[in-house]
Chain A
Amino acid sequence: MDKILRIDMGAKGGPKVSEGPLGDYAGLGGRAMTSSVVSKEVPPLCHALGAENKLVIAPGMLTGSAAVISGRLSVGCKSPLTGTIKEANSGGQGGIALARLGYAAVILEGKPPTDDLYKIHISSKGVKVSVDNGLKMLPNYDLVNKMKAEFGEKIVCISIGPAGEMKLGSASVAVTDMETRPSRHAGRGGVGAVMGAKGVKVIVIDTADTKIRQPKDAEKFKEANRKFTEGLRSHAVTGQALPKFGTNVLTNILCEAGGYPTYNFKEGTYKDGAKISGETFAEIETKRGGKATQGCHTGCVIQCSGTYVDKDGNFISKQPEYETVWAHGGNCGICDPDTIARLDFMDDNFGVDTIEMGVAIGVAMEAGLIPFGDGEGALKLVEEVGKGTPLGRILGSGAEVTGKAFGVERIPVVKGQAMPAYDPRTVQGIGVTYATSTMGADHTAGYAVATNILKVGGFVDPLKPEGQVELSRNLQIATAAIDSTGMCLFIAFAVLDQPETFQALVDMINAFYGLSLTGDDVTALGKNILSMERDFNAKAGFTAGHDRLPRFFSTEKLPPHNLTWTMKDEELDRVFNW
């Protein structure tokens, strides 16, 4: 990864391709790369869909190497959904393919003067950008099939569906998986709309002649990778629960805890949660001949994904994630796994974020557009998004726009982004992260390694009252650092409990780059990223007043525990004091 590919989509005479050295961005990957480029090169006050915004696509630091589970791909820009800086990341094969071609980043710049739609073909022989208006409004699955017919089977696609072309706030960037299905998405924040604004429908990467990235110290790297793999496989979460049930294993737990937002955040427990739990999905998949255990990219040893098929064994979708099952399921009062899987497929096909889409439908249900529990109605609403009808465009623009359009008060968003599947009234600590994250309401911003291992910001006693703020701060720092490595965040659980597994990760990075990083360096990296992001947001007009949860969380009690959000504003304002 020693070069950056820039494509100026607005250049005179047509898109202009240039490749250059890393320069100031040397040593960066993933979120560190995307947020560095955006904060340095994008005017914070620009319109997210305008020519001044840039879409930065960056593999992680270890992506493309032999490091297990290191295939994450970051996509960054100014978000059209939130107006903040944005990094959304995805599994799939895209990061690995780009990294093995030597690209630390692909940056789409400018804006085409016409409404032509482009495809970009990248191979070891070079980069070709061409107009292909025949791709207009193609859903992702049809698009990928067309690309396979044109370029052969050995390709990876990074693409947008109709939602991205329509520049909707919930539009995602799709990445093909190991089966060359566009099932993995950089979902959050409308990054697909920015790709659509650049006029780029698809980036096709030819994987022929690509080579695995080699470490500086092969022996040390191999040993650290072995220990790291061992740590993941021996842990109860990464070695057993996730492979067997997927991330949706959380449904039963959150329902039991009363923290599972139901009926658009009106209740904290879904009475039919067991019908859509990870345990139930795994049982259905196994019985029907699908797969309950599957990786989303080469080198994944956790294998938390799967394949969901219908009663006749026909593919419906990949195994829906916990957040997807929640957003389209319990949040909307829908308890039919087949319907949820079909909604997941439609989201992937039209290219929308499943969380944003599900929450928007929940808000629409609250408005009375369709009743809670109406699975067929929900399918029709997503169909409207794919067709680009006026109603579909409202829904596809996200939960906040939907709520405003239909006069709904209970809109569960922070900085315009829909809240994920954990109610902050029950788990107050996660509410701190929702409120203060640089990205809008985001569950992955606090999904990271143990701060007591990293000693991020010194030792924190979580039992002290101020512990919530300290924990959230440290989690956000650690997450920013992990997001830069290309590692799947699910490594966190093994790292959380097993110090030797965390050490193996640090050793792996050091052996790969010939460095001698310590936990302090990891902390510094995370802080730098967050500082850049906070600075960008401040210049874009965001203040402490934006680091708040919607008022209804403070005024409406959530059954069954009947709790409200009680964190004080002054506490939230301390999160980034370092």
Chain B
Amino acid sequence: MNRKNTKARGAEEKAICISIDTNELSRFHPLFQEGVAVETDTGISVREFLCASLGIDERYVEERISTIFLNGKPVDDLDMSIIGDGSVLALSAAMPGLVGATMRRGGYYAAMRTTITHRADENRPALHRGRIRLKLFNMILDEIGPSLLQAGVVVRADSLGRVLENLVRDGLSQAVALPERGDEVRLIVGSPAVTETVNARGKIHGKWARKK
């Protein structure tokens, strides 16, 4: 691939590493529902992003992530839908109801939403580094969220603040100094073992927030 390397936006965000019991990872789910920023090559297909960039198993993509939105439009063709810098990609499992069935990728009822269906991108833009906003819903939250948290995502400081406020209130974390509202932070969350490793590598520049 002819990839053009450009400096990703937000490379200087403050980084925060939080160690927490894995049973409490769902505390961070609101961040994924609102969307987290992920740095990636852009100009690649949705399938390439999911399988190559995120490392999700192809079978899981085919069978489990049955509902996908790119910039608010339901995707039917993973290979002909191209993500660009600033794209919003939302991933969901199969959903209930007629409308749930309608939104499914390549589903029988896809004809009922033809006016909003994501059309195939005939012309691929050039490859370059960029950032997309990734949203995870329902079953996908539990199944993909933890590994993304472990790898690190970029989130809005005020959104993270709300999550941390609840963690502190419930005695699961110490208070963490966050940047101003509207700024973004790089967040890494995992079990104590994972975050110790990350910290030892010197990737973390922000304050620690340990489980009490």
Residue positions of A touching B, CB distance < 8 A: 236-238, 240-242, 244-245, 247, 249-250, 252-254, 256-259, 269, 274-275, 277-280, 283, 304, 322, 422, 426-430, 443, 446-448, 450-452, 462-464, 467-468, 471, 475, 490, 493, 496-497, 560-561, 563, 566
Contact = CB atoms under 8 A, between A and B. Distances in A.
Nearest to B100: A250
A500 B4 CA distance: 51
Interface residues of B, number: 39
B103 A467 contact: no
B84 interface: no
A253 B108 contact: no
Nearest to B113: A427
Interface string B120-136: 00000000000000010
A429 B139 contact: no
A429 B102 contact: yes
B94 A236 contact: yes
B93 A241 contact: yes
A253 B100 contact: yes
A493 B103 CA distance: 13
A253 B103 contact: yes
A91 to B, nearest CB: 15
Contacts of B115: 426, 428, 561, 563, 566
Interface of B: 26, 29-30, 33-34, 64, 66-67, 69, 72-74, 90, 92-103, 108-116, 135, 137-139, 141
25 contacts: A236-B64, A238-B96, A241-B96, A241-B138, A244-B138, A250-B95, A250-B99, A253-B92, A253-B137, A256-B137, A257-B103, A279-B33, A279-B137, A280-B29, A426-B115, A427-B112, A429-B102, A430-B98, A448-B98, A463-B110, A464-B111, A475-B98, A496-B101, A497-B94, A563-B116
Contacts of B137: 249, 252-253, 256, 277, 279
B160 to A, nearest CB: 14
A241 B97 CA distance: 12
Nearest to B34: A274
Given A274-B33, A283-B26, A430-B102, A257 B116 contact: yes
B116 A426 contact: yes
Nearest to B162: A275
Nearest to A240: B139
A135 B132 CA distance: 59
A237 B94 contact: yes
A368 B94 CA distance: 39
A64 B67 CA distance: 36
B158 to A, nearest CB: 13
A237 B113 contact: no
B102 A280 contact: no
A280 B96 contact: no
Contacts of B141: 279
A475 B97 CA distance: 12
Nearest to B101: A496
Nearest to A452: B108
The 6 A-B residue pairs whose C-beta atoms are closest, nearest first, are A429-B112, A274-B33, A462-B111, A252-B137, A467-B111, A236-B94
A254 B99 contact: yes
A274, A468, A471, A560, most chain B CB atoms within 10 A: A274
B177 to A, nearest CB: 25
A475 B109 CA distance: 11
A250 B67 CA distance: 12
B33, B96, B116, B141, most chain A CB atoms within 10 A: B96
A427 B102 contact: yes
A560 B103 CA distance: 17
A446 B98 contact: yes
Contacts of B67: 253
Interface of A is mostly: helix
Contact of A471 (B29, B112, B138): B112
Contacts of B98: 430, 443, 446-448, 475
Contacts of A240: 93, 139
Nearest to A274: B33
A428 B112 contact: yes
A238 B94 CA distance: 10
Contacts of A244: 138-139
Contacts of A241: 93-96, 138-139
A444 to B, nearest CB: 9
B162 to A, nearest CB: 10
A259 to B, nearest CB: 7
A249 B112 contact: no
Contacts of B113: 257, 259, 426-429
A252 B139 contact: no
A278 B138 contact: yes
B96 A250 contact: yes
A566 B111 CA distance: 14
B89 to A, nearest CB: 10
A127 B102 CA distance: 47
B102 A256 contact: no
A427 B29 CA distance: 28
Nearest to A258: B72
A250, A450, A451, most chain B CB atoms within 10 A: A250
A283 B29 contact: yes
A463 B111 contact: yes
B109 A471 contact: yes
Contact of B109 (A242, A278, A280, A429): A429
Contacts of B110: 462-463
Contacts of A464: 111
Given A249-B96, A274-B30, A256 B90 contact: yes
Nearest to B114: A428
